[in-house]
Amino acid sequence: MINESILQQKIQSLLQYPTLNQESVKKVGDILKTLDEWRLFRINPLRFAKQHSLNDNDSIDVFVHGTKIGLFDLSYNMLCPACHGIVHNYHSLGELENNSRYCALCDVNVPIDIDEQMEVSFTIHPSVKKLDINPFSDLQTYFRYHFSDNYQKAEQVQAFFMESVIKGWNTLAPDERTTVSLAATSVQVYQLVCLENNSSVSFPVNKTNLDPQKEIAIDLLPTTSIAAKKVQIPLSFGSYELHLKNHTKNSVGYLLITLDRDKYHAMVKQYPTTLTPFLTAKMLLNNQSFRDLFRVQQLSENFNVNVKNLTIMFTDLRGSTEMYDKAGDVVAYKLVQAHFQILTETVRQFSGAIVKTMGDAIMATFSRPLDGFLASLEMLGKIQQMNKTWIEAGYEIGLKVGINEGPALAVVNDEKIDYFGQSVNIAARVQGLAQAGEVWISQSVLEYPGVTEKLATSGYQTEQHSVTLKGVGQPAVVHKVFK
Is the CB of residue 379 less than 8 Å from the CB of residue 346? Answer: yes
Instruction: Please state, in angstroms and rounded to a whole number, the distance separating the CA atoms of residues 298 and 112.
Output: 20
Q: List, for residues 168-181, the tens digit of each pLDDT value.
A: 999 999 999 999 99
Q: In 3D, which of 320, 387, 374, 384 has the Cα closest to residue 347?
A: 374
Report CA torsion sign: 90, 93, 97, 101: positive
Is the model's pLDDT at 340 over the cut of 90? yes
Q: How many CB atoms within 10 Å of residue 206?
A: 14
Phi, then psi, of 243 in degrees rounded to 5: -100, 110
Distances (CA, A) of 196 to 188, 199, 251, 393: 25, 8, 9, 68
Q: List, for residues 17-72, the tens digit of each pLDDT value.
A: 999 999 999 999 999 999 999 999 999 999 999 999 999 999 999 999 999 999 99
Is the model's pLDDT at 165 over the cut of 60? yes
Sorted by sequence, the CB contacts under 8 Å of residue 387 that are 6+ apart come out as: 396, 397
Sorted by sequence, the CB contacts under 8 Å of residue 105 that are 6+ apart come out as: 80, 83, 85, 191, 193, 195, 200, 255, 257
Is the CB of residue 352 less than 8 Å from the CB of residue 313? Answer: yes
Instruction: Please state, in angstroms and rounded to a whole number, the distance separating the CA atoms of residues 439 and 401.
Output: 5
pLDDT attached to residue 118: 96
- Of 2-16, 42-56, 130-144, 288-302, the range with the lowest mean pLDDT is 288-302
Helix/strand/coil for 463: strand
Q: How many CB atoms within 10 Å of residue 74?
A: 19
Q: In 3D, which of 282, 267, 419, 449 has the Cα closest to residue 351?
A: 282
Is the CB of residue 76 less than 8 Å from the CB of residue 242? Answer: no
Domain boundaries, the chain: 4-133, 156-272, 295-482
Is the CB of residue 129 less than 8 Å from the CB of residue 5? Answer: no
Domain 295-482 has CATH 3.30.70.1230: yes
Q: List, for residues 453-474, the tens digit of each pLDDT value.
A: 999 999 999 999 999 888 777 7
DSSP string for 99-141:
SEEEETTTTEEEE--TTTSEEEEEEE-TTT------TTS-HHH
Instruction: Please state, in angstroms and rounded to a whole number, the distance separating the CA atoms of residues 408 and 422.
Output: 7
pLDDT attached to residue 228: 42
Q: b/e per residue, 214-231, with b = 16+ CB within 10 A?
A: eebebebbeebbbeebbe
Coarse DSSP helix, strand, coil percentages of the chain, rounded to the nearest 5 percent? 35, 30, 35
Q: In 3D, which of 362, 356, 361, 371 has the Cα closest to residue 309?
A: 371
- Of 41-45, 73-77, 395-399, the range with the lowest mean pLDDT is 395-399
| CA distance from start to end of the chain | 59
Is the model's pLDDT at 226 over the cut of 50? no
Instruction: Please state, in angstroms and rounded to a whole number, the distance separating the CA atoms of residues 17 and 406.
Output: 34
Is the CB of residue 103 less than 8 Å from the CB of residue 329? Answer: no
Q: List, for residues 179-190, the tens digit of each pLDDT value.
A: 999 988 887 899
In Å, how far from its chain's centre is CA 212? 46
